[in-house]
Amino acid sequence: MVRWHLDGATRGKLGWTQFLLLELGEHYTPRRISLLSLEQHEKAIAEGLSRTATPMVSLSMLGPRGLIGRYGKVFTGPQVQV
């Protein structure tokens, strides 16, 4: 899935095994890079955090209480410097 600008939320597509979400800042420099595997998403479904096979994609997923923040990996700061 490619989306240049998220304002609100967008639904993912079926058939994925790895989900990568980039948050870009000024001059398109990466602010946060996140990764969620299908297995991690299935765990979130089993524990009741996510309810569908196709997650709603939004930047709130990257926070400490969000889907990727809790079950995946979020890289910030020096980890994403180019």
Q: Which residues, 6 or more positions from 56, have their beta carbon under 8 angstroms from its beta carbon?
A: 9, 10, 11, 12
Q: Decide: 61 and 73 in contact? Cβ < 8 Å.
A: no
pLDDT at 59: 87
pLDDT at 48: 93
**Can you read off the two tokens belonging to residue 6?**
């998220």
For each successive 10 residues of the chain (82 residues), what is the average pLDDT?
Answer: 48 78 87 93 93 83 94 91 72
pLDDT at 8: 52
Q: What is the enclosing helix (H) or strand (E) of 41?
A: helix 38-46
pLDDT at 82: 67
Closest CA to 56 of 17, 15, 5, 6: 6
Q: Could you tell me the pTM of the whole model?
A: 0.78
pLDDT at 9: 56
**Can you read off the two tokens belonging to residue 46?**
């089993």
